[in-house]
Structure 1
Amino acid sequence: MTLINSHYFKLNKLLLTFCGLWPYQTKLKRRINYTTFAIITLSMIFSLAGGIQSELNTGFMNISESIIALLFFSTGFLKCTIFYNQRNQLKILYEQTAHDLKKMTHHLERDILQAFLLEARNFNVVSLVYSIPIYIVFAIATYLPQVFGFTNESAKYELHFFLYYKPMIIHESVQDLQVLIHATISTIYVGSAYLCVSATYISSVKHVCALFEIARYRLKNVIVDHSNNNRRGLMKNASVISNLIKVIDIHEKALRGVQRIDNVFNASLFILEVTALSAVTILIFHLNYHQGNFRQMTRYSTILSAFVSYLFFCNWFGEQVIQSCNDIRETAYNVNWYNMSLRARMFVLMIMQRTLKPVHLTAGTVVILSMENFSAFLKTAWSFGTLLLTTQKPSPKENSIFFEY
């Protein structure tokens, strides 16, 4: 439990506790935190859905931005709910990492695992720091002009504000301020849910990649005797076979770790892939539609960068799993097998056979998480966005400044 509370998982613990997802919280605290998250998020989802439904007859342009917001909040709620129901699986992920960190006796192997966990922590910190200015820029360009009355009342299109279910408005005089506060609080909770999933995902993937790297390190030095400080000799056959068995064991543990991660995350990642494709398509459409409008380009660019960056990291870490498995195979091919006995070579052959087909993470067992598929995703979204642009009339030519159309 001490290792789980270490600096490697401090940010993970903070984010998951905030949303009621930390598996080591008491049952009462988990329920209170998750219920608070659910009430706030569902109220925003209901407000957006009601607003969209009431404006369906006004055309795609008036509802498209609210559709993006609805996708964002709905996906965050689903991801958080899936995680809430996976308490035991999350506990296993964190406890397995802490167990491996504690049981690593060789200082070089322990350093490898610590380096990978530290890298995961740094990525999580960067993700949190990156998400804050994105929303600040979006809020400045979206809400403040409305709240402080800087918008042009004769604007033809209400593209700069979410559609909000009118019966939920307290009073028309505070309508814009109410939407600002409600959207901000909801975004904080839902954004935390996204970060919860990504933080656990990144830490788990880096843990598995560390195991692959440790197995590769052991395989690379399988016949080297480190018992003498200044002299490196060759081990006896029995010791070589023993080391190869250890390589197979830790490689098997890494493979089980990949399977465990896939079981926990594939549903939420599939939802993310579908949602992101729809949202990025609409955002690309708006960027092309509003070319030359600084305010709109700023707003849509910030949202687009958030979706694309999040999806990029999900696929990039999936690519790292594939690459780690490939590194094991290359090391097995390049190991000094000619210095081994025939029996030891059989174990090396066994490792080669295990790595012929690289393991991978998936989104819903349908999409392999890799940079190749990420590139295909962007091409598809761009094609759909361009196609969607052909269905709309060109935007009116107007002299746009930051707070006006």
Structure 2
Amino acid sequence: MICIVKQHFKLNRVLLLAIGLWPYHQSLFVRFQRILLIGILISSAVFQFTVFLTSECTLDFVIKILSSVLYFMIFMIKYNSFWVNFQAVKSLLEQLQNICNELKDENEVVIMKKYGNNAKCYTTRIIGVSMFSIFISFFVPIWPRILDIVLPMNESRSRSTLLHLTQYFVDQEKYYYLIVLHMNAAMCIGGTAIIGTGTMLIAYLKHACGMFTIASYRIEQAMTVNNLQNSLQNEILIYKEIICAVDVHCKAIEFSKSLISSFEGSFFFLIGFGVICLSLNLFEMYQTLSYGDDREEFLFHFIIVNLILLYMFLANYAGQEIIDHNNHIFYTAYNVRWYVAPLHVQKQILFILQRSTKAVSLNVGGLFAASLNCFASVNIIYEDI
């Protein structure tokens, strides 16, 4: 028997517990924790907007500030998406556990464990890449101060990008390290929210792919019972296997649709803010390379661009896997020895083929269907720009 949470979602559980988003813990302390963390995220964006009150709002300056503010707003969207939908997150976990409890064949259990282990590998790798990026983001603002101590110069080094992007209405040089602490805390909370929620969704979709694979396996098993001598018993067994295959196929489709419908609103805003943030940061990278030599600012925008592109790629790749695994059911049903099965069974196979021709995709608002084609089309647009 598979225990979904302990075997496949252990890392996700740790990440979500750290930021108060694990759906099975809703104590008073956790509620206070969530309010505190979302308050830090909101204040980090507010103290960037306040720059407009004390500075001249030229177009270049507005773009510079928005390129950073939108990045922190993406953190807030992701955090709130799980906070608001914690019941849906819990329900999806319970659905997965019920489906795993219904698995009878040892090979089906092995298939589900394989996809669960794949989800854990994805989570581990994403944590590694993200922690490295967060470490660089922490280190860059204090690098000039370290150089002032280790390799002092007669002239002061360039003012940190962080001080240009925020306005706390205090002496920012005097309270520089407190400002850095606040912004780094916001990035750490937001980064953990992005990693924890993102890997949780990927793990859900990996298990959905496992369900599609089990459906293909059951169709193959249905055709192996044709060797029985008793034709009536043979036909009954084939019917049972095909019914089981159709059942898990329907559950996989329903599970995928339930996942998207639960987070559709937050995904829509996330896509919108993500695309705008990516565009502005690409523009800032170009401006920095063309007209300036501020390496810290370039690195800041470079990290944001690469993290957004990585997130977009992983989201679209997960959607492509759902499409491919659903299509594999069609190939399986077409390639089995359906022609030696009884006529009524052949008609059932025909219905499976007809249903499998309908695409199953992660569609957000009828506008975006997660796939590699969608990701490639976005990249082509940016190359044209």
When normalised by structure 1's length, the TM-score is: 0.85
Q: Determine if the alignment matches structure 1 residue 43 to structure 2 residue 43.
A: yes
CA distance in 2, matches of 1:295, 1:93: 42
| Match of residue 12 from structure 1 | 12
| Match of residue 70 from structure 1 | 69
Alignment of 1:47-196 (within 5 A): 47-57=47-57, 59-145=58-144, 161-167=163-169, 169=170, 171-196=171-196
| Match of residue 203 from structure 1 | 203
- The answer to whether the Cα contact below 8 Å between 2:161 and 2:296 also exists between their aligned partners in 1 is no
Q: 1:265-305, CA deviations, whole angstroms, 9 ceiling, x for partnerless residues?
A: 32222222112211221222233233384554433322211
Worse-superposed segment, 342-351 or 280-289: 280-289
Worse-superposed segment, 330-339 or 93-102: 93-102
* TM-aligned CA deviation for residue 162 of structure 1: 4.7
| Match of residue 246 from structure 1 | 244
SS in 1 for 2:21: coil
What value does the CA root-mean-square deviation take over the aligned residues?
Answer: 2.8
Q: One-letter code of the match for 2:190? A: V
* TM-aligned CA deviation for residue 65 of structure 1: 3.6
Q: 1:368-403, CA deviations, whole angstroms, 9 ceiling, x for partnerless residues?
A: 1111111112233444xx4xxxxxxxxxxxxxxxxx
CA distance in 2, matches of 1:162, 1:129: 30
| Match of residue 280 from structure 1 | 278
SS in 1 for 2:165: coil
- The answer to whether the Cα contact below 8 Å between 1:61 and 1:159 also exists between their aligned partners in 2 is no
CA distance in 2, matches of 1:141, 1:161: 13
- The answer to whether the Cα contact below 8 Å between 1:48 and 1:164 also exists between their aligned partners in 2 is yes
Q: How many residues in Structure 1 have an aligned counterpart in Structure 2?
A: 376
Q: Determine if the alignment matches structure 1 residue 266 to structure 2 residue 267.
A: no
- The answer to whether the Cα contact below 8 Å between 1:223 and 1:235 also exists between their aligned partners in 2 is no
| Match of residue 340 from structure 1 | 341
* TM-aligned CA deviation for residue 144 of structure 1: 2.5
SS in 2 for 1:290: helix
- The answer to whether the Cα contact below 8 Å between 2:44 and 2:186 also exists between their aligned partners in 1 is yes
- The answer to whether the Cα contact below 8 Å between 1:284 and 1:382 also exists between their aligned partners in 2 is no
* TM-aligned CA deviation for residue 61 of structure 1: 3.2
Q: One-letter code of the match for 1:30? A: V
Q: Per the alignment, do residues 178 and 379 of structure 1 end up closer, same or farther by CA in structure 2, a change over 3 Å counting? A: farther
* TM-aligned CA deviation for residue 51 of structure 1: 1.6
| Match of residue 302 from structure 2 | 301
The runs of 5 or more residues in structure 1 that have no matched partner are: 229-233, 387-405
| Match of residue 321 from structure 2 | 320
- The answer to whether the Cα contact below 8 Å between 1:147 and 1:177 also exists between their aligned partners in 2 is no
CA distance in 1, matches of 2:381, 2:162: 26
* Bigger proportion of residues as helix: 2
CA distance in 1, matches of 2:383, 2:177: 35
- The answer to whether the Cα contact below 8 Å between 1:143 and 1:161 also exists between their aligned partners in 2 is no
Q: Per the alignment, do residues 53 and 257 of structure 1 end up closer, same or farther by CA in structure 2, a change over 3 Å counting? A: farther
CA distance in 2, matches of 1:261, 1:207: 12
Q: 1:192-225, CA deviations, whole angstroms, 9 ceiling, x for partnerless residues?
A: 1112221221111011100000001111232214
Worse-superposed segment, 80-89 or 338-347: 80-89
Q: Per the alignment, do residues 90 and 122 of structure 1 end up closer, same or farther by CA in structure 2, a change over 3 Å counting? A: same
CA distance in 2, matches of 1:99, 1:109: 14
Q: Per the alignment, do residues 316 and 53 of structure 1 end up closer, same or farther by CA in structure 2, a change over 3 Å counting? A: farther
- The answer to whether the Cα contact below 8 Å between 1:312 and 1:374 also exists between their aligned partners in 2 is yes
SS in 1 for 2:329: helix
Q: One-letter code of the match for 1:121? A: K
CA distance in 2, matches of 1:219, 1:53: 65
Worse-superposed segment, 17-26 or 182-191: 17-26
- The answer to whether the Cα contact below 8 Å between 2:2 and 2:101 also exists between their aligned partners in 1 is no
Worse-superposed segment, 137-146 or 18-27: 137-146
* TM-aligned CA deviation for residue 166 of structure 1: 3.4
Q: Per the alignment, do residues 7 and 320 of structure 1 end up closer, same or farther by CA in structure 2, a change over 3 Å counting? A: same
Q: 1:335-373, CA deviations, whole angstroms, 9 ceiling, x for partnerless residues?
A: 211111110011111111211111111233321111111
* TM-aligned CA deviation for residue 153 of structure 1: 5.3
SS in 2 for 1:6: helix
* TM-aligned CA deviation for residue 148 of structure 1: 6.0
CA distance in 1, matches of 2:343, 2:280: 61
Worse-superposed segment, 173-182 or 124-133: 173-182
* TM-aligned CA deviation for residue 147 of structure 1: 7.2
- The answer to whether the Cα contact below 8 Å between 2:226 and 2:234 also exists between their aligned partners in 1 is no
Identity across the alignment (%)? 21
CA distance in 1, matches of 2:233, 2:64: 66
When normalised by structure 2's length, the TM-score is: 0.89
SS in 1 for 2:143: helix
* TM-aligned CA deviation for residue 98 of structure 1: 2.1
CA distance in 1, matches of 2:329, 2:182: 50
